[in-house]
Amino acid sequence: MLTLAVPRDPAALPRLLLTALALALLWPGLSLSELDLGVLLHGDSAATMGNFVAAFWPPEHGREFLDLLGRATLETLAIATAGMSLALLVALPAALLASRALSLSALHRGGRPAWWGALLRWPVRGLLIVLRSVPEIVWALLFVRAVGLGPSAGVLAIAITYAGMLGKVYAEIFESVDPRPARALLGSGSPRLVAFLYGILPNAAAEMLSYTVYRWECAIRASVVMGFVGAGGLGQQIDLSMRMFAGGEVASMLLTFFLLVLLADQLSRLLRGRLT
């Protein structure tokens, strides 16, 4: 009788069906992408890869090369940082405009903005979508033609794409934190920007910071990829070394990368620790 007393979980069947559906959708995806892991072990592809990787040892550490590596690393950091700064200049105002969190009309409508407010937010959202829907490598190719080979093409490409990403995520962070402090301030007559600074920013700062540092890390990686198309930095050096089959140099540069990402990770942890 005891077993009859336990009611059946009403969510069990839907969950089972959803899992089955997800698996059923995965299969056509795998076959569409022509993924075949067997090719990795097939024939002499394993030996070829082994030779390629073996050439990476030992990492190059000659005095002259280290000078070059240092300069390229600094250039990469400069590209990522300058690109992020420009992106922030666009992303912050755009996020404030795109976010519903600072709507005055939502104040006395139970959190739903008036239709004309929603209408005005759409162009800003559209702009952010356009900025981030074109990959940075495409922007880089465009700017290499416009401003010539060199870091400035990379900076512009990162600035444009990342402005779109940062703006979208910032706007969502603003909407996801507790809206009541800002509403209380708006309700006592504060201007909107001030209500944002006193009511939303204290709650959103840690998350924004963590995302921004993560994006900075991504910008470092992206600047490397763009180096392959001539936008300067470590990427250009890796491209050159690969063409000259100098595996040791490539290994040194990959190690540098590892250190840069580690640095970004530690920086993020330090800053978050200060804020939370």
**Residues at the site binding another protein, with contacts judged by CB under 8 A:** 104-105, 107-110, 178, 180-181, 183-191, 193-195, 197-199, 202-203, 205, 275-276
CB of 207 to another protein, least distance (A): 12
To another protein, the closest distance from the beta carbon of 15 in angstroms equals 30
List phi, psi (to 5°) of 5. -70, -25
Minimum CB distance to another protein smaller for 13 or for 194: 194
Q: Which is nearer to another protein, 237 or 268 (CB)?
A: 268
For residue 103, the minimal CB distance to another protein (Å) is 11
Closest CA to 81 of 158, 21, 133, 145: 158
Instruction: Give the whole-angstrom CA distance, residue 202 versus residue 208.
Output: 10
Phi, psi of 57 (to 5 degrees): -105, 140
Q: Which is nearer to another protein, 120 or 255 (CB)?
A: 120
Shortest Å, Cβ 192 to another protein: 9
Judged by beta carbon, residue 68 or residue 114, the one nearer another protein is 114
- Report, in Å, the least distance between residue 178 CB and another protein: 7
Query: Which long-range CB contacts under 8 A does 106-110 form with residues at least 24 apart?
Result: 107/183, 107/186, 107/187
**In terms of DSSP H, where are the helices of 59-150?**
63-98, 115-133, 136-147
Structure tokens given for 114: 């008036």
- Residue (102 or 238) nearer to another protein, CB: 102
Q: Radius of gyration of the chain from Cα atoms?
A: 25
